[in-house]
């Protein structure tokens, strides 16, 4: 059997940037263990499998109002196309002030001696949000050397499974102004640093919306690959995360 397969870089319009994922187009169902084998073979953070619900469905037909529902370990993920962007429909998660003394060692492992302006915790996602002082610039966040092993050793609460480091935007993006920057680390799940993280922005969106008094924002995740996200908080308590994408590989997988 041959399966059409693509590698897509998400949250970017440039090849080799953003978050890489494999996408498989299936004409028929696969055995459950084959999904995992294909994902292991692709060796990327995400592998998506898209299957026709009806024999007459056309994978190649373009529809600006089309939506896809992905079944993930975290529940259903709905994506839709809007002009040249793909919009993810995600829940919005709020943060609460964190006693810095409880996570002092973890904060130091993440940002060293840098000045910290705020520390928050999201119980729904088990993510710790560390906001650097507004005195810093994007380059300071990009230069941070974060050791994943040190994060694991420094986490003593047993509650935290991801660390977000964020910084207020300086309005001096190369192509556009950004409201905030971030980086994300989740060694508890085997991810030393994630290139671009939709899940982290479900937390970042609520935090920065409160801080900036804005419902629409533009963000940049400052990993080595980098990725740009357009954010829109909705009336129903959810958030739309938008980004462009670039297909960098097309081919067939033989199984």
Q: How is the chain split into domains, by residue range?
A: 2-91+244-254, 96-230
In this prediction, residue 65 carries a pLDDT of 54
Residue where the block lists tokens 């839709």: 80
Measured in degrees and rounded to the nearest 5, phi and psi for residue 186 equal -140, 60
Quote the CA–CA distance of 179 and 181 in Å, as a whole number: 7
- Strand 85-91 versus strand 96-97 pairing type: unpaired
Residue 32's pLDDT is 81
- 2-91+244-254, which class in CATH? alpha beta
Task: Dump pLDDT digits (tens) for 64-84.
Answer: 456 777 777 667 788 888 888
Q: Which residues are catalytic?
A: 46
Strand segments, DSSP code E, in the chain are 2-10, 19-26, 46-51, 67-72, 75-82, 85-91, 96-97, 116-122, 127-132, 162-168, 180-186, 191-194, 216-221, 227-233, 238-243, 245-254
| 2-91+244-254 and 96-230 share one fold | yes
Domain spanning 96-230, CATH architecture: Roll (3.10)
The pLDDT profile of the chain, 255 residues, written as one tens digit per residue, is 899 999 999 999 999 999 999 999 988 888 889 999 999 999 998 899 988 766 666 655 555 456 777 777 667 788 888 888 899 999 999 999 999 999 999 999 999 999 999 999 999 999 999 999 999 999 999 999 999 999 999 999 999 999 999 999 976 545 578 999 999 999 999 999 999 999 999 999 999 999 999 999 999 999 999 999 999 999 999 999 999 999 999 999 998
Paired with 163 in beta bridges are 128, 185
> What's residue 69's pLDDT?
79
């Amino acid at each position: 059997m041959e399966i059409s397969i693509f590698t897509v870089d998400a949250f970017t319009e440039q090849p080799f940037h953003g978050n890489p994922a494999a996408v498989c187009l299936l004409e028929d169902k696969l055995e459950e263990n084959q999904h995992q084998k294909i994902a292991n073979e692709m060796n990327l953070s995400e592998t998506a499998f898209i299957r026709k619900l009806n024999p007459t469905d056309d994978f190649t037909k373009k529809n600006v109002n089309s939506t896809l529902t992905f079944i993930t370990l975290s529940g259903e993920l709905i994506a839709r196309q809007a002009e040249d962007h793909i919009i993810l429909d995600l829940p919005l998660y709020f943060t609460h002030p964190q006693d810095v003394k409880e996570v002092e060692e973890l904060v130091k492992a993440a940002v060293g001696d840098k000045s910290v302006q705020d520390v928050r915790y999201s119980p729904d996602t088990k993510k710790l949000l560390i906001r650097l002082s507004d005195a810093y610039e994007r380059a300071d966040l990009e230069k941070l050397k974060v050791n994943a092993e040190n994060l694991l050793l420094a986490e003593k609460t047993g509650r935290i499974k991801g660390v977000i480091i964020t910084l207020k935007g300086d309005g001096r993006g190369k192509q556009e102004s950004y409201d905030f920057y971030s980086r994300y680390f989740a060694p508890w799940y085997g991810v030393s640093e994630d290139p671009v993280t939709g899940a982290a922005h479900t937390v970042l969106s609520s935090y920065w919306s409160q801080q900036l008094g804005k419902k629409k924002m533009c963000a940049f995740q400052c990993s080595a690959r980098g990725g740009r996200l357009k954010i829109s908080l909705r009336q129903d308590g959810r958030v739309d995360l938008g980004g462009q994408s670039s297909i960098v590989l097309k081919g067939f997988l033989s199984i």
